[in-house]
Structure 1
């Protein structure tokens, strides 16, 4: 396989879409990886496997409609494999495999059959000291945008997924790119005050537009840099509740076509006003695990 990813929006040709098959039982509160899942476990509203399978099938149907090759992970019994973006990412012709939470190592093995045909020199495994997840890594042409947390209390946050060592490693791995890091707001207990990944509070769309949530960023000047980079008129600002519902975590099939959740009324209206084709899908159950469309897709090839 010849990988090719330069940005978030060029025409998609091949992608890994996670799976909710054999997702396992509702986790215990103490085993939740994020505050939103924890909230739904406590409330008795954690999503059911059959509902999540239907939602992911709706996404696959849209991808197939646009002639995208869709790969799915090998099924591991009673194991959450929904969020394919966490475990790897592609930039240019390289795939970088995550140093993920130890409990999730098997997810990587379940996708190995897909990328094992890539040239060995293009399969990158960073040192164990480099922590990252793909939701924090966002290629945008000459830039790589990276969500991170560099506080001394990093180890106290299960929601802190990408560290400074990973940012520095990316600079060495892609010296021809500008690696731009953004400090994200983290909370283990309040999902409305937690940007689990960069794509939970920001995402570029089209050629020159973006969705953003100001409070997801710890440093206001870093948020402002993004607004200035894209231009205020090209930026759609989402509220705290819209961030909680994952409005920034949509997924681009091309510069003109976006898959979005059917309940994102304000966002979807704005997208259509900007000339986008919006393919609406039900994804509110999967959103209960603090991830949405970008989190559950991992692009391999774009034109």
Structure 2
């Protein structure tokens, strides 16, 4: 398999879609990775496996409709394997293994059947001190946008997933790209004040447009840089509630086709008005774990 990813929106040819099968019991509060999951565990509204399986199969059907080759992880008994974006990401023809939370290592092992088709020369493992997850990494043609958190209290946040060591390492790996990092707002307790990954508050779509949430960025001038980069008229600004519901975490099949959650009424209307074909799916149960469509897909090849 020859990997090829230059951006988020070119025509998708092959992707790894996570799985909700055998997702395991409801985690304890101590086991939860993010404030939104904690909120739903406490409220007794944590998603049921059957509902999440149905949501993911609907996405698989949409992808196949557009002739995308869909790979799935090998199912591990009683283990959460929904968010395949976290475990690795592709830039150009290289797959970079993400240094994720240690107790998620088995998720990577479950895609070995895909890795075997890539070849070891195109698989990169970063040094141990480089913390990175795929939700924070966005190739955008000549740029690589990366969400990070560099505060001295980094280790206090289960929600701080990508550090500056990883940003520097990726710049060294892809010296011909411009790596642009963005400090994200982090909270262990309030999901409306927490940008778990960059794709929780920003995503490029189409040829020249972007979805943005200002409060997700810790440094206002970095947010303003993105507004200037895309142009204010090309930016769809989402509210705090829309960010909480993961409106920026849709997924592009091509420059003019996106998969979006069916309840994202304001966003989906704007997308249609701007010439996008919107494939609407139910994904609100998955969203309870602070991840949505981009989080559960790992593109391998785009034209």
Report the TM-score, using the length of structure 2 for normalisation: 1.00
Superimposed CA distance per residue, residues 201-257 of structure 1 (whole angstroms, 9 cap, x where no aligned partner): 000000000000000000000000000000000000000000000000000000000
Superimposed CA distance per residue, residues 148-172 of structure 1 (whole angstroms, 9 cap, x where no aligned partner): 0000000000000000000000000
> Which consecutive aligned stretches of 4+ in structure 1 deviate over 6 angstroms post-superposition?
none
Distance 2:206 2:258 in 1: 9
Distance 2:212 2:71 in 1: 29
Q: What does residue 155 of structure 1 align with?
A: 155
Q: What does residue 28 of structure 2 align with?
A: 28
1:109 aligns with 2:84: no
Instruction: Give runs of aligned pairs for residues 201-216 of structure 1, distance below 5 A.
Output: 201-216=201-216
Superimposed CA distance per residue, residues 60-79 of structure 1 (whole angstroms, 9 cap, x where no aligned partner): 00000000000000000000
Q: What does residue 228 of structure 1 align with?
A: 228
Distance 2:38 2:62 in 1: 30
Instruction: Give runs of aligned pairs for residues 103-142 of structure 1, distance below 5 A.
Output: 103-142=103-142
Q: What does residue 4 of structure 1 align with?
A: 4
Distance 2:61 2:112 in 1: 24
1:76 aligns with 2:76: yes
Deviation at 1:117, TM superposition (A): 1.9
Instruction: Give runs of aligned pairs for residues 253-292 of structure 1, distance below 5 A.
Output: 253-292=253-292
1:299 aligns with 2:302: no
Deviation at 1:10, TM superposition (A): 0.1
Q: Partner of 2:146: helix, strand, or coil?
A: strand
Q: What does residue 39 of structure 1 align with?
A: 39
Q: What does residue 54 of structure 2 align with?
A: 54
Where do 5+ consecutive residues of structure 1 fail to align? none
Q: Partner of 2:75: helix, strand, or coil?
A: coil
Distance 1:121 1:2 in 2: 12
Deviation at 1:294, TM superposition (A): 0.1
Q: Partner of 2:166: helix, strand, or coil?
A: helix
Distance 2:300 2:31 in 1: 31
Deviation at 1:119, TM superposition (A): 2.8
Distance 1:93 1:290 in 2: 29
Distance 1:85 1:272 in 2: 26
Instruction: Give runs of aligned pairs for residues 174-253 of structure 1, distance below 5 A.
Output: 174-253=174-253
Report the TM-score, using the length of structure 1 for normalisation: 1.00
CA RMSD of aligned residues (A): 0.4
Superimposed CA distance per residue, residues 118-141 of structure 1 (whole angstroms, 9 cap, x where no aligned partner): 132210000000000000000000
Instruction: Say how many residue pairs are matched.
Output: 303
Superimposed CA distance per residue, residues 93-127 of structure 1 (whole angstroms, 9 cap, x where no aligned partner): 00000111011000000011102221322100000
Distance 2:197 2:39 in 1: 18
Q: Partner of 1:29: helix, strand, or coil?
A: coil
Distance 1:49 1:40 in 2: 14
Distance 1:141 1:13 in 2: 17
Distance 1:31 1:70 in 2: 30
Where do 5+ consecutive residues of structure 2 fail to align? none
Distance 1:48 1:256 in 2: 33
Superimposed CA distance per residue, residues 74-93 of structure 1 (whole angstroms, 9 cap, x where no aligned partner): 00000000000000000000
